[in-house]
Amino acid sequence: MAKEIANLEPKAVWENFYKLTQVPRPSKKEEKIQAFMVDFGKSLGLVTEKDSIGNVLIRKPATPGMENRKGMILQGHLDMVPQKNSGTAHDFDKDPIDAYIDGEWVRARGTTLGADNGIGVASAMGVLASKDLVHGPIEAIFTCDEETGMTGANGLKANWLKGDILLNMDSEEEGELYVGCAGGINANIEFEYDEVIVPDGVKPFKLIISGLKGGHSGLEISLGRGNANKLLIRFLKYATRELDVRLADINGGGMRNAIPREGYAIVLVPEENVVQLKKAVKNYESIYQLELAAVEPALSFKLEETEMPKSMIEERVQDDLIDSVYGCPNGVIRMSDGMAGMVETSTNLSTVKSQKGVIFVKCLLRSSVESAKEDLVEQVDSVFALGGAMVSFDGGYPGWKPNMDSQILKEMKEIYEHKFGKTPAVLGIHAGLECGILGAVYPNWDMISFGPTMRSPHSPDERVNVPSVQKFWDFLVEVLKNAPVK
């Protein structure tokens, strides 16, 4: 039962996280969680406000004797990535998350867990509800729609918050302090096609790629995991050329910020080439499994018989789509020169989907270097423009430039060293933290991002490490107690 997680320590975090798992909160559909947070703040007798975008702000006065400290802003986002395994029956608009304890980890059965960013939100709730923590003035800002556009951060109005130091609690490795992040932009591609009549003498089949790990398209892009769309298109490139296969439908991937784990294509093959097609699928499965053995041990590529489709995609557009997706950059483009082991620039080819005469292709481009991001935009635009597609870009957001002279960075390093006996790592992150956007609205803020240890966010393998949550909470409590004097 999911409620068992409420008994974990620290209860100040886990009881609130359990409550969050019971409230549906997929991106773009956050009305229930926003109402929940407003009710939560008001139930504590705290000043609680919601703006027109959907951000919720809760203010808590300083504890006696701490009124002279700088105001601390606890920040997290309310939405979660709604991903599930193909065999899991779950409605993210209605159903609670079925979380459970697995040794030292908390997971969800067949779906994303929502620890990204539910643990950060739950920790802020714990601070707000506490009657014995020592702290200066607290503001908790819970932003909306971080995962699919950073809508809340982009819409945050100036002068609404009064604090001086932003503690973003949306990082995913305990013992690391993040002082910079990548910017990003969405690529939107559309191929229009005519639906043509299926000829006689063909057999319909469904190509299915599955069993991939997926994961966060920023944090885990450097792990070299398989991209379902690229693998599917790679086979279609061969099959359309050598076996006269025709494409009727394609559906791969989902969220922009999730590496695509599975996909399928409905294809038509001349009857005389059925045997060769079956052999080719088995051969490509072996190739994929060999190439990706270290990172995708459960990879599966299968062929199933299916019903005859009513139509198929015109051949010219089919070929343009395959060539363009095949040639589109994907994965790590460049590693950072300034921070060892950090990705500088990457792209995730997240979605390929045909629907009523249009094939939609979506990518998320990231870089901590603005000029490199612009160069990647031009590359993607060129590839798909050559294929005759309509290409547009939106949802761009800036990166967060590191400030190594940050006062809160210095103090948090000292607190961590004193409390845990080791120096925390100071890093940049190849993901779209809201800090870059928020810092543009509030340039006076001193900012840092930290959090407990999580693995595979944005996928059904998402999990959070229980001991790391205790350390994260203890660290947060100590940081608040030692807030700098104004």
Pick the closest to residue 175 from 415, 368, 456, 385 (CA basis). 415
pLDDT at 401: 82
Q: Where are the beta strands (DSSP E) in 381-435?
A: 390-397, 425-429
Asked if 39 is an active-site residue, the reply is no
Partner residues linked to 238 by β-bridges: none
| Residue 75 amino acid letter | Q
pLDDT of 56 reads 98
Which of the following is catalytic: 146, 173, 220, 320? 146
Q: Are 133 and 127 in contact (CB under 8 A)?
A: yes
Known catalytic residue at 91: no
Instruction: Please enumerate in sequence order all residues whose Cβ is within 8 A of that of 363, keeping only pairs 6 or more positions apart, or say none.
Output: 186, 187, 189, 256, 328, 330, 347, 348, 349, 350, 380
Question: Which CATH number applies to 2-182+399-481?
Answer: 3.40.630.10
Domain boundaries, the chain: 2-182+399-481, 185-397
Q: What is the pLDDT along the chain (486 residues), one digit of tens a residue?
A: 689 999 999 999 999 999 999 999 999 999 999 999 999 999 999 999 999 999 999 999 999 999 999 999 999 999 999 999 988 999 999 999 999 999 999 999 999 999 999 999 999 999 999 999 999 999 999 999 999 889 999 999 999 999 999 999 999 999 999 998 899 999 999 999 999 999 999 999 999 999 999 999 998 999 999 999 999 999 999 999 999 999 999 999 988 989 999 999 999 999 999 999 999 999 999 999 999 999 999 999 999 999 999 999 999 999 999 999 999 999 999 998 877 788 999 999 999 999 999 999 999 999 988 899 999 999 999 999 999 999 999 988 888 888 889 999 999 999 999 999 999 999 988 988 899 899 989 999 999 999 999 999 989 999 999 999 999 999 999 999 999 999
Sequential DSSP letters for 31-88: HHHHHHHHHHHHHTT-EEEE-SSS-EEEEEPPPTT-TTBPPEEEEEE--B---B-TT-
In this structure, are residues 83 and 175 in contact, taking their beta carbons and an 8 Å threshold?
A: no
User: What is the largest distance, in Å, between two alpha-carbon atoms of the chain?
Assistant: 84
Among candidate residues 15, 79, 139, 262, the one labeled active-site is: 79
Q: Give pLDDT, residue 339.
A: 75
427 secondary structure, DSSP code: E
| Architecture label for domain 185-397 | 2-Layer Sandwich (3.30)
Report pLDDT for 348.
98
Dist. CA 472–CA 423, nearest whole Å: 15
